[in-house]
Amino acid sequence: LAHAGPFARTVDDIALMMDVLAQPDPRDPTSPPSMDETFAEAVARDVSGLKAAFSPTLGYVDVDPEIAGVAADAVQAVRESGIAVDEADPGFADPADAFEVLWACGAAKALSAFPPGAREKVDPGLGKIWDLGRTFSAVDYLTANETRAALGIRMGEFHTRYDVLITPMMPVRPFEAGHDVPPGGPYTKWWQWTGFTYPFNMTQQPAISLPIGRTSDGLPVGLQIVGPRHADDVVLAFARHVEQVLAGQAAR
């Protein structure tokens, strides 16, 4: 579920970084297939023929109204650039319960290698996830994996109709460091305020976040672009187009 992705100032820079980091490897069953071009070449493709879906909420995410407005304005600018963008949800229910099982079990397995006494030394939020992971059964884990597989099938079907999916990046405004959840809000677990992202960790789909503007109090707003599995090149090419369309709208 965890992914280590590159951060960069521009999509072009990410493409260069991906050419170093993301290569086929016969020893890794999850590595990408061979490409006929580099990511640096792929990112310059004409994407005018691609079809995009914009899902403002994925059907279940409660989004800050100002964030929703900034995202909608950005998507409208993409439409006006000549890209076909429908408003459409993929049609799956919130997979948070399954994600919680998979994430907590994965954390418990990873942290089990720590020496005795480590539980008292880790970040309190991580410690709670560690404890939670040890409460789930094998049946819980396999049931969550069934949900994960069904989600992947659903998204595979969705991408027969749409080349990319666009959503807001986060439904809440950035909050102070040192908190697992936004202070004073309804959330008690960190993934409860990240509803746009964890479904695609579960399905292992490539996704990118682009800065698209700011709230009235100056906080950054992002847009997420998701593509089919192994279609990192499509995501990067589409993201570069969006970046160029919105140039100047998001102060970095």
44-79 pLDDT, tens digit per residue, is 999 999 999 999 999 999 999 999 999 999 999 999
Closest to 234 in 3D by CA, of 204, 210, 207, 209: 207
pLDDT of residue 28: 87
pLDDT of residue 29: 85
For residue 251, pLDDT over 70 is answered with no
For residue 250, pLDDT over 60 is answered with no
Compute φ and ψ for 14, nearest 5 degrees. Answer: -65, -40
What fold, for 11-93+161-245? Amidase signature (AS) enzymes (3.90.1300)
Model confidence pLDDT, tens digit, residues 79-124 = 999 999 999 999 999 999 999 999 999 999 988 898 888 888 888 8
Q: The whole model's pTM is what? A: 0.92
pLDDT of residue 27: 92
Higher pLDDT, 141 or 123: 141
Closest to 190 in 3D by CA, of 180, 178, 200: 180
DSSP symbol at 82: T
Rounded to an integer, what distance in angstroms lies between the CA atom of residue 184 and that of residue 179?
Answer: 11
What mean pLDDT value characterizes the chain?
93
Closest to 158 in 3D by CA, of 214, 221, 227: 227
Rounded to an integer, what distance in angstroms lies between the CA atom of residue 36 and that of residue 172?
Answer: 39
pLDDT of residue 72: 98
